[in-house]
A and B are shown apart, each in its own frame.
Chain A
Amino acid sequence: MTSPAPALVFDGVTVRYEVDASPAVDNVTFSLAAGERAALVGLNGSGKTTILLAAVGLVPYEGDIRVCGTPVSRRTAAEVRDRVGFLFNLPDDQLLFPKVIEDVAFGLLRRGFDRTEAYRKAVLALDSLGVGALAEWPLQHLSHGQKQRVALAGAMITDPPLLLLDEPSASLDPPGRRALAGILGRLDAAMLIATHDLDFGRRLCRRLILLEGGKVANDGEDLSTIQRLWEME
């Protein structure tokens, strides 16, 4: 028996937005097993978003990135994105349709599901996030927290083995944060959760990958390094 390929592998990955600028992500190496959850913690500008974008081939990188065993490149981008659910920092950026149900069902319709079946599954996904009643709503009428759940339903609907979440707890109130942590905690997918909300990260993940200026400063279950570094600010 071979164990399944890791959900995500970064091997010596460097990202530069400008040729002679200092790298936004600097020689980063880590690996996320199938079903494993890790929090990617770091201050603003430490490179969290860049790492998530690199993982889906949206920024050019040096080094090696693999999603479920597939090397991420221009050529494989579509295949890779089929295996990844991505939650943007602001749900407004990723909701692309006027009505909730249309947005959630899109991932299935795109894969050739028929409309009735796709909509039925979309309602189930919304239900599981506690927002089934919103299916027919226009997106503009939702609150931030509701939009985020809709975005999450859309990202999960195809059961991707890897979820990449960019600061999902930002701009949620404390009960909203707890609810989101509860929802994410019940999913089986591997997750990389970018956050500067240590509390939230800790609630979901034992493993914390600490980023500092684009470098991995610490990777493990130990909070003290982070606390020492952040306390010093």
Chain B
Amino acid sequence: MRTSWHEIWGSGRGPAARLAPQTRILAGAAFFAACLMSPALSAPGTVFITATTAVWIYASGLPGRALRSSALLGLAMFLPYFLLVPLMVKGPSVTGPGTGWAGALAVPWGILLHGLAGLLIATATIATLTASDLRGGLLALPFPRVLAAILVQIVHQTFVLLSETNRVAAAMAVRGGSGRWRAAVRMLSSLPRVWLPRILGRADRVAAAMEIRGFAEADLRIFGQRVIRAPDAVVIVLAGAVLAVAATLRLRLL
């Protein structure tokens, strides 16, 4: 994959950028939940999932390159389930509503649609948020203060690790000499050995720094936050409605 996750954050240039960060987080979470909740096997369900995903991708202004990469990633992750279809046709039909081929196809189709929609919505949400937005948004949501401070720090440290990961990946690509895939495989296999001790050691030191700098006691809302305005209210109501539709579709099926 040519686009790294690190670059996707805040890369969106869509209308969603005009919303307060907390609205973007809430809306993304609501759409994500709605798509996972609604059934993939009925026509209305399929239309609903596709439409919700498309609208949120448009609103986020996810760059085409990032959209293509994450769609490809999703297909690579979820298409292989179709390979199981022949096995399921022969077996006793216990899954899904239909029998035979239709019933067997239903399972991987559900996985593909839910998986792809979830992945794209998550990517689109990420694209609407820069690191500062994400922090501001988390602080504005009604979490307890200490929880918010910890979440914010997790987010920040994740960004630090991500940029470090990019450097390590570059170093490995240079040293390995050959393609990205080999670098990726090597990096994954080195994760537990190289990263875990580093992360644990760092966690200790970051915790010490947080204490010395008075991070946990500070009210981080001092950083100011965007207030909720009319468009935010509209989007929040809309996201609630989308969730309600998803719930209805789901209940009808049961």
**Which chain A residues border B131 with CB–CB below 8 Å?**
98-99, 138
- Bitwise, B208-234 to A at CB < 8 A (1) or not (0) is 111111110110001110000000000
Residue numbers of B with Cβ under 8 A of A are 130-132, 135, 153, 156, 159-160, 163, 202, 205-206, 208-215, 217-218, 222-224
Of the A-B pairs whose beta carbons lie under 8 Å apart in the complex, a sample of 13, sorted by A's number, is: A77-B211, A88-B208, A90-B205, A94-B212, A96-B210, A96-B213, A98-B135, A102-B223, A106-B218, A107-B213, A110-B218, A110-B222, A138-B131
Q: For the complex, what is the distance from the CA of A226 to the CA of B131, rounded to whole Å? A: 47
Which of chain A's residues 33-81 have a Cβ closer than 8 Å to chain B?
53, 56, 58, 77-78, 81
- Bitwise, A89-105 to B at CB < 8 A (1) or not (0) is 01011111111001000
**Which chain B residues border A93 with CB–CB below 8 Å?**
202, 205-206, 208-209
**Which chain A residues border B135 with CB–CB below 8 Å?**
97-98
Assess whether A192 is interfacial by the CB under 8 Å rule: no
**Which chain A residues border B218 with CB–CB below 8 Å?**
106, 109-110
Given A102-B223, A109-B223, A138-B131, A97:B156 Cβ within 8 A: yes
Q: For the complex, what is the distance from the CA of A56 to the CA of B217, rounded to whole Å? A: 16
Given A81-B214, A93-B202, A115-B222, A98:B132 Cβ within 8 A: yes
Q: For the complex, what is the distance from the CA of A94 to the CA of B207, rounded to whole Å? A: 9
Interface residues of chain B: helix, strand, loop or mixed (majority)? helix
Q: Is the CB of B213 within 8 A of A98?
A: no
Closest to B166 in A: A140
Q: Is the CB of A106 within 8 A of B224?
A: no
Q: Is the CB of A98 within 8 A of B212?
A: no
Assess whether A10 is interfacial by the CB under 8 Å rule: no
Given A92-B160, A97-B156, A140-B160, A78:B214 Cβ within 8 A: yes
Q: For the complex, what is the distance from the CA of A228 to the CA of B182, rounded to whole Å? A: 50
Residue numbers of A with Cβ under 8 A of B are 53, 56, 58, 77-78, 81-82, 84, 86, 88, 90, 92-99, 102, 106-107, 109-110, 115, 138-140, 154
**Which chain B residues border A106 with CB–CB below 8 Å?**
213, 215, 218
**Which chain B residues border A53 with CB–CB below 8 Å?**
208
**Which chain A residues border B156 with CB–CB below 8 Å?**
96-98
Q: For the complex, what is the distance from the CA of A93 to the CA of B202, rounded to whole Å? A: 7
Q: For the complex, what is the distance from the CA of A90 to the CA of B209, rounded to whole Å? A: 11
Q: Is the CB of A84 within 8 A of B212?
A: yes
CB distance from B202 to the nearest CB of A (A): 6
Q: Is the CB of B222 within 8 A of A98?
A: no
Q: A88-B208, A94-B206 are in contact. List 15 more A-B contacts (CB 8 A).
A: A58-B212, A81-B213, A82-B214, A86-B209, A86-B212, A92-B160, A94-B213, A95-B160, A96-B156, A97-B156, A98-B130, A106-B213, A109-B218, A110-B214, A140-B159
Q: For the complex, what is the distance from the CA of A109 to the CA of B214, rounded to whole Å? A: 11
CB distance from B179 to the nearest CB of A (A): 26
Q: Max chain B CB contacts within 10 Å: which of A56, A94, A96, A110?
A: A96
Closest to B204 in A: A93
Q: For the complex, what is the distance from the CA of A171 to the CA of B176, rounded to whole Å? A: 26
Q: For the complex, what is the distance from the CA of A130 to the CA of B208, rounded to whole Å? A: 28
**Which chain A residues border B223 with CB–CB below 8 Å?**
102, 109, 115
